[in-house]
Amino acid sequence: MPKVQAASSHSSGRGARGHRVSTSLAEINVVPLVDVMLVLLIIFMVTAPLLQRGIDVKLPTAVRATAIQGERIFIDVPLAYRQDRVVYMANEPIKLEILQERMRQKMENQSEKQVYLRIEGTLQVQDQMDVIDRLKAAGVQTIGIVAATPKK
């Protein structure tokens, strides 16, 4: 709050006015800013799990399937691949024609050149081989096919 001095008791003449001294108010009220930031944090915390949803692919089942450990590159090949020839890498649609170049760029700095395919179980073997050929041409050394574990 600004400080105010009372006027002087000398009231003679023009120069005898009272002097007011005030300081500038340089404080910012951060309470509304914190409130807005907390609301945004809550919104992002609620929506983040909803954005993690991937492409729906019905995986074939295997009795001896094991869980994959660590960070890996997954390529999803949905049933719609027969019509549009589009695969998905990290939920990003990629045409089969440019898959080789995209994988080559992604694999440049990696020591383990491994890719895991999540292929729709009802796709024909030739469709699967087309994708595998493109990945091999891009320099991928190991290609794994992800299978679902049977429900017990």
Q: Is the pLDDT of residue 11 over 60?
A: no
Pair 78, 131: CB distance under 8 Å: no
Burial level of 120, CB count in 10 A (0-12/13-18/19+)? buried
| pLDDT value at residue 55 | 67
Secondary structure letter of residue 139 according to DSSP: T
Look at 38 and 147; give whichever has higher pLDDT.
38
For residue 68, pLDDT beyond 70: no
Residue 18's pLDDT is what? Answer: 61
- Domain extents in the chain: 14-51, 73-145
pLDDT band at 7 (very low <50, low <70, confident <90, very high): low
Average predicted confidence (pLDDT) for the chain: 79
Q: Is the pLDDT of residue 19 over 70?
A: no
Q: Cα separation of 141 and 41, whole Å?
A: 41
- Where is pLDDT greater, at 26 or 17? 26
Q: Does domain 73-145 have CATH number 3.30.1330.10?
A: no
Structure tokens at 69: 């450990």
The percent of residues above 70 in pLDDT, for the chain, comes to 72
Has residue 20 got a pLDDT over 80? no
Burial of 140 (0-12, 13-18, 19+ CB in 10 A): buried
Instruction: Name, in order, each residue with C-beta under 8 angstroms of 70's C-beta and a sequence gap of 6 or more.
Output: none
Strand partners, 152: none
pTM > 0.75 = no
